[in-house]
């Protein structure tokens, strides 16, 4: 069978770009579909044809099966690649493709269905002899019954949405007293994210290592595995750094896991690329009798590049070949592991503020190039990170002969990465790559949570060096502006204002300016040395001058200067007393939305007395729930939004008034 003539990519961002790249190499015509928010996106520019399918919210665009099929028919496409997320694991999408004579680049709808719900999937693979996590994955959902099951399983337990994905609707529970609240929260997240509140309860595996197996099957009954990936570095059950192979993996364990994964794939008649995720009990190192099936993702995985790096294969090409009916070009015995690869997910989020997604324009975006470095991104400088989709900016992937080499390369690449605009997790990722215990392979899925301080998570002191460099840039910008306007007024050569050293003629040795550094008001003072103005330094607040220090980059924007130092970004702006101060949103008793999102729950009513720190409401944004707490003791004066409402960043949700003594 000939290669597919064309492909419509029912996705966006980096994965759409990545699929287009391979499709073009294979000589296929590429068709993009996009939302209003993505009109200028890189993947739209890269595709041969592009069609607008709706407004920004995914529900009205990337999740509209009818519109996507309509475009596919209009453009006469041979196939549709769903990428990951969005419609990739929706059986009805695969069915709609088939019904319209379009090849779905993915497994049969029946395989998606069989693995779609975690409870049914566990039952199914268990029958095929694959070990599963002990727990209750039946249909009863009564809280008393589930609490009893949790007791029988033994704490800690994990409550999971059966329809779950992306770490949503998952709650670890330490003790019986916490079970009901956790169940309620998991069910609420599950309903809102998946339209299905059902959960399962399973044993929380201790010292857990997330190790998954990449499988690949053709339509002729051949199934192989492409080794493992270790995705144990996680935050909130979401992967942060992934690598292949897994540290300390033994040939016996790899063989056992590979066989189990192939069995799971066979059990559902799998075709194409898929991933079987296991959780391994790492308390006594990796052991072939201590790993358990968690779920199968019936699609291409975000972290597939590390597997590509160690196998030399292009998984998207293999997907197209399998979808067009070709036989797998290799057997299990042909496959070998070459070196070690690591991937870091670079996100527009702020590790110093609970990893809140950070949106806005990318004033600068630069990545290093080099042997063994791969960057998968869907944005370029000038693009906007919007609140509508996953805020991933790029995947940075490094490949080396050894694990140590790969990690060093990745750390270096992150060090050379420049992002100005939204806050990012660059510094955090770099620290992770350099963390000693991780370097020697001593880690599990709790590693990040146990090392938050060392990883620079949480409020950090202002970077005074960066602030000083930013202040210097703004002060000289201001001086140039003053000079320019004076120059225009006194346009004769003898004017003191037109001399290069004219500034000294002011008789001033120091210039002050009020600035805002990451939202905080500071006074900056530039002190001029007598000989040479260029050597000037700036003191912010009371700190010392920083003559010997360096920063990585300064990026000028109309509203200020972004200073990047050690992967951390500091924004220095002229102080404008009328600016909205997003940093102090709880002033005046108003509790405001920290970001665009949906108000999912309000726990108080007008007239309620609340204590500082008490939970008031929950805003769900992008991937998670953000709990809003009372900034002080007080009484609820007003509730300004209804549960279920979409709320804008900075919107007033609840107003507290101080309690009268
Ligand atoms: P993977 O299992 O492939 O590593 P994750 O489970 O970490 O992926 O990702 C969680 C889910 O978040 C994905 O399955 C997908 O549903 C969604 N997701 C992540 N990034 C994006 C994106 N850029 N666009 C759409 N959906 C995404
Ligand atoms: P999702 O569909 O959201 O990816 P998973 O079932 O794959 O859900 O679980 C996500 C993560 O949660 C895993 O990578 C793992 O770190 C953790 N996890 C899941 N199940 C368990 C368990 N039984 N014990 C310990 N950790 C678990
Ligand atoms: Mg998973």
Interatomic CA distance for residues 129 and 118, integer angstroms: 16
pLDDT value of position 509: 52
Residue 623, pLDDT score? 56
CB 631 within 8 A of CB 612: yes
**pLDDT of 326 over the 80 cut:** yes
Residue 128: what pLDDT?
Answer: 95
199 and 225 inside one domain: no
Are residue 245 and residue 324 in the same domain, yes or no?
yes
H helical segments located in 463-573:
464-489
Task: Name the least confident of 171-185, 448-462, 559-573, 624-638.
Answer: 624-638
Confidence of residue 534 (pLDDT cuts 50, 70, 90): very low
CA 228 to chain CA centroid, Å, is 22
Q: From the DSSP assignment, how many helices (H) and strands (E) are in the chain?
A: 16, 37
For 118-129, the three-class secondary structure string (H helix, E strand, C coil) is: HHHHHHHHHHCC
For residue 624, the domain's CATH number is 2.40.50.100
Most confidently predicted of 344-353, 525-534, 639-648: 344-353
Nearest CA to ligand 1 atom 5: 166
Residue 115 within any structural domain of the chain: no
Distance 621 CA to ligand 1 centre (A): 15
Return the structure tokens found at 35: 């939302």
Whether the CB-CB separation of 468 and 540 falls below 8 Å is answered with yes
Domain that holds residue 175: 135-203
* CATH code (residue 44): 3.40.50.20
320 lies in the same domain as 431: yes
Choose one of 449, 483, 506: the last residue of a domain: 449
254 occurs within a structural domain: yes
Which ligand is nearest to the Cα of residue 167, counting in written order? 2
Q: Output phi, psi for 566, to 5 deg.
A: 50, 40
Pair 220, 413: CB distance under 8 Å: no
Nearest CA to ligand 1 atom 13: 85
158 and 180, same domain (yes or no)? yes
> What spacing in Å lies between the alpha carbon of 167 and ligand 3's midpoint?
7
Of ligand 1's listed atoms, the one at least distance from the Cα of 15 is 23
Confidence of residue 580 (pLDDT cuts 50, 70, 90): very low
Confidence of residue 510 (pLDDT cuts 50, 70, 90): low
The CA distances from residue 142 to 178, 184, 189, 307, in Å, are 16, 11, 17, 42
pLDDT of residue 246: 98
CATH code (residue 154)? 3.30.1490.20
Q: How confident is the model at residue 611 (pLDDT cuts 50, 70, 90)?
A: confident
Mean pLDDT in residue range 610-622: 80
Mark whether 262 and 392 lie in a shared domain: yes
d(CA 199, CA 158): 10
**Tokens describing residue 233:** 């570095």
- Residues 203 and 150: their CA atoms lie apart, in Å, by 8
- Whether 389 shows a pLDDT value over 50: the answer reads yes
Pocket test for ligand 2, best of 160, 209, 237, 298 (most atoms within 8 A of CB): 237
Q: What digits encode the pLDDT tens for the residues 119-130?
A: 999 999 999 999
Q: Which of 84, 214, 230, 357 to mutate to test the pocket of ligand 1 (most atoms within 8 A of CB)?
A: 84
- CATH code of the domain in which 429 resides: 3.30.470.20
For 168, the 3-state DSSP assignment is: coil
pLDDT band (50, 70, 90) for residue 603:
confident
Among residues 124, 119, 121, the alpha carbon closest in space to that of 135 is found at 119
Q: Where are the beta strands (DSSP E) in 246-391?
A: 272-281, 291-297, 340-347, 349-350, 356-357, 360-361, 364-366, 373-377, 384-385
The pLDDT of residue 499 is above 60: no
Residue 110 lies in a domain: no
Other Cβ atoms less than 10 A from the Cβ of 241: the count is 25
DSSP 585-650: TTGGGEEE-SSSEEEEEE---TT-EE-TT-EEEEEEETTEEEEEE-SSSEEEEEE-S-TT-EE-TT
Is the domain of 327 the same as that of 436? yes
Query: Do 493 and 567 sit in the same domain of this protein?
Result: yes
Among 181, 203, 225, give the residue marking a domain's end: 203
Quote the number of domains for the chain.
5
Q: Is pLDDT at 495 greater than 50 in this prediction?
A: no
**Measuring from atom 6 of ligand 1, which residue has the nearest CA?**
166
> Does 117 reside within a domain?
no
Residue 644 class from Cβ within 10 Å (0-12 exposed, 13-18 middle, 19+ buried)? Answer: exposed
> Sorting pLDDT into bands at 50, 70 and 90, what band is 498?
very low
Average the pLDDT over each of 96-105, 536-545, 599-608 and give the range with the smallest value: 536-545
| Residue where a domain terminates, one of 203, 230, 261 | 203
Instruction: Enter the pTM of the model.
Output: 0.85
Q: What percent of the chain has pLDDT over 90?
A: 70
Residues 263 and 364 in one domain: yes
Find the distance separating the first CA and the last CA of the chain, reported in whole Å.
82
Q: How confident is the model at residue 539 (pLDDT cuts 50, 70, 90)?
A: low
Residues belonging to the active site: 299
Whole-angstrom Cα Rg for the chain:
27
Count other C-beta atoms under 10 Å from residue 661's C-beta.
Answer: 3
Tens-digit pLDDT profile for residues 79-98: 999 999 999 999 999 999 99
Asked if residue 141 is part of any domain, the answer here is yes
Same domain? 74 vs 220: no
Calculate mean pLDDT across residues 4-20: 98
Pocket of ligand 1 (CB under 6 A): 13, 84-86, 165-166, 238-239, 297, 301-303, 389-390, 392
Which ligand lies nearest to the CA atom of residue 347 in the structure? 1
Asked if the structure places residue 1 within a domain, the reply is no
- Using one digit for the tens of pLDDT, what is the confidence trace for 411-439? 999 999 999 999 999 999 999 999 999 99
Pair (199, 213) in one structural domain: no
pLDDT at residue 146, rounded to an integer: 97
Q: What is the pLDDT of residues 474-483, one digit of tens each?
A: 888 877 877 7
Identify the pLDDT of residue 127. 96
Inside any domain, residue 605: yes
- Name which of 526, 523, 550 is nearest 538 in CA terms: 526
Report how far ligand 1's centroid is from the alpha carbon of 575 (Å): 39
Tell me how far the alpha carbon of residue 282 lies from the centroid of ligand 3, in angstroms. Answer: 18
Q: Which residue has the tokens 């990451």?
A: 518
User: CA–CA separation, 425 vs 414, rounded Å?
Assistant: 10
More confident residue, 548 or 335: 335
The answer to whether residues 570 and 614 belong to one domain is no
Residue 365 lies in a domain: yes
Residue identified by tokens 């309903």 is 191
Q: Using one digit for the tens of pLDDT, what is the confidence trace for 281-323?
A: 999 999 999 999 999 999 999 999 999 999 999 999 999 999 9
Return the ligand 2 atom nearest residue 118 CA.
6
Q: What is the best residue among 168, 170, 390, 624 to mutate for testing ligand 2's pocket, by most ligand atoms within 8 Å of CB?
A: 170
Q: Could you give the C-alpha distances from 121 to 84, 171, 188, 317, 488, in angstroms and in order? A: 19, 20, 22, 28, 75
Ligand 2, residues at Cβ distance < 6 Å: 133, 158, 160, 164-167, 170, 202-205, 208, 210, 234, 237, 277, 279, 294-295, 445
User: Tokens 């392979």 — which residue?
Assistant: 441
Residue 622: the pLDDT is 62
Same-domain pairing of 212 and 247: yes
Calculate how far, in angstroms, residue 629's C-alpha sits from the geometric centre of ligand 3: 30
Average pLDDT of the chain is: 89
Could you tell me the two tokens for 18? 């990545």
Task: Name residue 626's beta-bridge partners.
Answer: 619
- Please state the atom number of ligand 1 nearest to the C-alpha of residue 88: 16
């Amino acid at each position: 069978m000939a290669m597919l003539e064309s492909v419509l990519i029912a996705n966006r961002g980096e994965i759409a770009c990545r699929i287009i790249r391979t499709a073009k190499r294979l000589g296929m015509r590429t068709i993009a579909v996009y939302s209003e928010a993505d009109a200028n996106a890189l993947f739209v520019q890269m595709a041969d044809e592009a069609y607008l399918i709706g407004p920004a919210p995914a529900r009205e665009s990337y999740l509209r099966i009818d519109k996507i099929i309509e475009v596919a028919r209009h453009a006469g496409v041979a196939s549709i690649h769903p990428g990951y997320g969005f419609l990739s694991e929706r059986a009805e999408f695969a069915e709609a493709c088939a019904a319209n004579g379009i090849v779905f680049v993915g497994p049969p709808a029946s395989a998606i269905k069989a693995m779609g719900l975690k409870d049914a999937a566990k039952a199914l693979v268990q029958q095929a002899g694959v070990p599963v996590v002990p727990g209750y994955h039946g249909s009863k959902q009564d809280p008393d019954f589930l609490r009893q099951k949790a007791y029988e399983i033994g704490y800690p337990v994990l409550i999971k949405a059966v329809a779950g994905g992306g770490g949503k609707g998952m709650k670890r529970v330490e003790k019986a007293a916490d079970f009901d609240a956790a169940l309620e929260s998991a069910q609420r997240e599950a309903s809102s994210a998946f339209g299905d509140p059902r959960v399962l309860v399973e044993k929380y595996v201790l010292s857990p290592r997330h190790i998954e197996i990449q499988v690949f099957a053709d339509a002729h009954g051949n199934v192989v595995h492409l080794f493992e990936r270790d995705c144990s570095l996680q935050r909130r059950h979401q992967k942060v750094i992934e690598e292949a192979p897994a540290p300390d993996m033994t040939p016996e364990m790899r063989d056992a896991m590979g066989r189990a994964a192939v069995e799971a794939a066979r059990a559902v008649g799998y075709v194409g690329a898929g991933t079987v995720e296991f959780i391994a009990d790492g308390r006594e190192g990796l052991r072939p009798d201590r790993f358990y099936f968690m779920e199968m993702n019936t699609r291409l995985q975000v972290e597939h590049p590390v597997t590509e790096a160690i196998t030399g294969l292009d998984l998207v090409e293999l997907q197209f070949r399998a979808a067009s009916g070709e036989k797998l070009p290799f057997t299990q015995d042909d496959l070998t592991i070459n070196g070690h690869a690591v991937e870091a997910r670079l996100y527009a989020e702020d590790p110093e503020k609970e990893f809140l997604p950070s949106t806005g324009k990318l004033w600068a975006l630069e990545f290093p190039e080099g042997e063994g470095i791969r960057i998968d991104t869907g944005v370029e400088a000038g693009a906007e990170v919007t609140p509508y989709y996953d805020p991933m900016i790029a995947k940075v992937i490094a490949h080396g002969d050894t694990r140590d080499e790969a990690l060093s390369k990745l750390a270096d690449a992150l060090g050379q990465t420049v992002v100005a605009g939204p806050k990012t997790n660059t510094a955090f990722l770099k620290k992770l790559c350099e963390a000693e215990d991780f370097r020697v392979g001593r880690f599990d899925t709790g590693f990040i949570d146990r090392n938050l301080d060392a990883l620079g998570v949480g409020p950090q002191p202002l970077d005074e060096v960066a602030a000083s460099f930013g202040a210097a840039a703004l002060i000289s910008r201001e001086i140039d502006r003053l000079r320019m306007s004076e120059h225009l007024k006194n346009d004769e050569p003898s004017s003191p204002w037109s001399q290069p050293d004219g500034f000294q003629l002011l008789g001033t040795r120091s210039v002050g300016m009020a600035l805002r550094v990451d939202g905080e008001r500071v006074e900056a003072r530039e002190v001029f040395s007598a000989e040479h103005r260029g050597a000037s330094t700036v003191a912010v607040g009371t700190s010392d001058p920083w003559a010997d220090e360096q920063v990585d980059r300064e990026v000028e924007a109309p509203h200020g200067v972004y200073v990047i130092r050690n992967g951390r970004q500091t924004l220095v702006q002229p102080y404008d007393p009328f600016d909205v101060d997003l940093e102090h949103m709880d002033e005046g008793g108003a509790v405001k939305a920290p970001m665009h999102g949906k108000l999912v729950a309000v726990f108080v009513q007008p007239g309620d007395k609340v204590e500082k720190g008490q939970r008031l409401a929950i805003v769900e944004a992008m991937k998670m729930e953000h709990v809003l707490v009372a900034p002080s003791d007080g009484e609820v004066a007003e509730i300004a939004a209804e549960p279920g409402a979409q709320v804008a960043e900075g919107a007033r949700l609840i107003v507290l008034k101080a309690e009268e003594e």
